[in-house]
Amino acid sequence: GVQHAIVTAGTLEESRLALELVRRQRAGGCPVRLHSTVGVHPTRCLDFLPEAERAEIEAAMAAAADGGGGGEETLAAIEAEVLARPSVMAAIEAHAQALRRLLSQGREEGLVAAIGECGLDYDRLHFCPRLVQRAGFAAQLGLATEGGPPLFLHNRAARGEFAAMCKERRGAVGAAGGVVHSFDGDAAELEQLLSLGLDIGINGCSLKTEANLAVAARVPLGRLHLETDAPWCGVGEI
């Protein structure tokens, strides 16, 4: 039967709550041993910003979605300007340091299994735009260290940008290791990620097409993780 399970956090606050849940569960003597992650999901990376700048970005997102305000190019320009502000850079660093402290505390107690779930998700930009996601991901890649917990990585429709960001932090990423879950990329991206020392997670979303199946077959068995990502990514017929 199941002996271990991971409670996946998506925000700083969820990371705190996940750690508390694991503490309570272990104190209660449950036969399934829980662990937690610490990190911010790409769709939640607006949490890195101060409230005023978050509202500014959200207003620009709404304008772009309505077809006004100059569209995606204007949104990207506003993102870039906001992210370059010293106060915003300081807020992102402060959020990363809060994650680091929580990660350190959880590790000391033996509760943390991974950093994450972090990465890029360009399929759901209505939750968080590209440049803010990149800033949040970069901050969390900075948490990776040799001997530390591995990275639990999310990569949806970002393709080359995700691999490029991991490559920029090759030393830290390779030292920490990790898994790119729900992988649905092509063979070239697979080879890039494997070369960085990352493992590959496969679920139903990874097996939707014949092309997906061909790529999945290339994953070395020793680097393959099978996952459910329930209830969203079950295995169906092709």
For residue 44, what is the domain's CATH number? 3.20.20.140
Name residues whose C-beta falls within 8 Å of residue 37's C-beta, 6 or more positions apart in sequence. 6, 7, 8, 9, 15, 18, 112, 113, 114, 115, 116, 117, 152
- Residue 223 within a domain: no
Residues of the chain with pLDDT under 70: 68-70, 237-238
Tell me if 58 is assigned to some domain: no
Whether 214 maps to a domain, the answer reads: no
Closest CA to 41 of 181, 238, 206: 181
225 is in an annotated binding site: no
Q: Residue type for 51, please? A: E
Q: Which residue has the tokens 């530390």?
A: 148
Count other Cβ atoms within 10 Å, centred on residue 220.
9
Residue 93 CA to residue 100 CA, distance in Å, equals 10
CB atoms within 10 A of CB 110: 10
Residue 184: predicted pLDDT: 87
Both tokens of residue 152? 């639990």
The helix (run of H) or strand (run of E) holding residue 58 is helix 51-65
Q: If phi over 0 gives left and psi between -120 and 50 gives alpha, with beta otherwise, what is residue 177? A: left
Q: Is 66 annotated as a binding residue?
A: no
Tell me if 196 is assigned to some domain.
no
Domain that holds residue 25: 4-48+91-181
In a domain, 86, yes or no: no
Has 117 been labeled as part of a binding site? Answer: yes
- pLDDT score for 40: 98
CA distance 194 to 183: 12
Model pLDDT for residues 4-18, shown as the tens digit of each residue: 999 999 999 999 999
DSSP 121: E
Tell me if 205 is assigned to some domain.
no
Number of domains in the chain: 1
Nearest to 32 by CA among 44, 43, 22, 20: 22
Residue 83 lies in a domain: no
Question: Looking at the domain assignment, is residue 41 inside a domain?
Answer: yes
Cα–Cα distance measured from residue 133 to residue 122, given in angstroms and rounded to the nearest whole number: 9
Spatial separation of the C-alpha atoms in residues 223 and 6, rounded to whole Å: 19
Rounded distance between C-alpha atoms, residue 5 and residue 129, angstroms? 31
How many helices (H) and strands (E) in the chain?
9, 7
Q: What is the DSSP letter of 201?
A: E
Angle at which helix 86-108 crosses helix 130-141, to 10 degrees, equals 40
Strands 151-156 and 224-226: unpaired
Any binding-site annotation on 181?
yes
Q: What is the pLDDT of residue 227?
A: 87
